[in-house]
Amino acid sequence: MKNLIYSFFWVIIILLIQACNDKHGKNYNTSALVDTAGISFINNALAGELTEIKASGLVITKSSNQRVLSLAKMMIEDHTKAREQLKKIASDKQATVEDTIDGPHQQMISDLSKKSGIAFNKAYVQMMVNDHEQAVKLFTNATQNDDLDIKNFAAKTLPTIQTHLDSANAILTALK
């Protein structure tokens, strides 16, 4: 009887150890997850990045203005890199995020695609000014996020966004 009790005791111990190991194997670590403010930032930033890339892609096919083309190429390169970094952060945080352009931005791209010549160039550059003014605010706020990865990404990316805004403003002034 005594042996049966000891055997039962050890079976319970082994089962408890196995249950703990299973829990770690399924990655129940919630400290890596991002809060709602972080998710909101990631979604807004991804939508903005994708909008800039799509709008800038139109420039490559529709514009012959070298300054506007240079701006568009810079936008595509920088925003593609930022998107990749942001998507990695979201993946590392196990965050489900939307990776689409919202309705108003999609409408702006649609409207832009219908323009040509100087009207196209002005509309594109004005769109870049407006979007980057909003992006500066978004990223500035994100530098205060509790999540260190989001905070660092925003702080690191903010100077590039400011450069985009400054460049777009200079080109817009020259186009008027």
19-59, pLDDT tens digit by residue? 655 544 444 334 356 788 888 999 999 999 999 999 999 99
User: What's the rounded Cα separation, in Å, for the pair 95 and 116?
Assistant: 40
Domain enclosing residue 161, as ranges: 36-175
> Quick one: what percent of the chain has pLDDT higher than 90?
68
Q: Is 54 within a domain?
A: yes
Distances in whole angstroms, Cα of residue 113 to Cα of each of 11, 55, 109, 118, 119: 70, 8, 6, 13, 11
Q: What pLDDT does 30 receive?
A: 40
pLDDT above 60 for 11: no
Output the pTM of the full model. Answer: 0.79
Q: How many domains does the chain have?
A: 1
Q: Is 108 within a domain?
A: yes
Q: Is 146 within a domain?
A: yes
53-81, pLDDT tens digit by residue? 999 999 999 999 999 999 999 999 999 99
Q: Is 16 within a domain?
A: no
The residue written with tokens 């160039």 in the block is 121
* CATH for 69: 1.20.1260.10
Q: Is 9 within a domain?
A: no
Q: Is 119 helix (H, G, I), strand (E, B) or coil?
A: helix
Q: Is 145 within a domain?
A: yes
Q: Is 1 within a domain?
A: no
pLDDT band at 14 (very low <50, low <70, confident <90, very high): low
CB 86 within 8 A of CB 45: yes
Q: Is 3 within a domain?
A: no
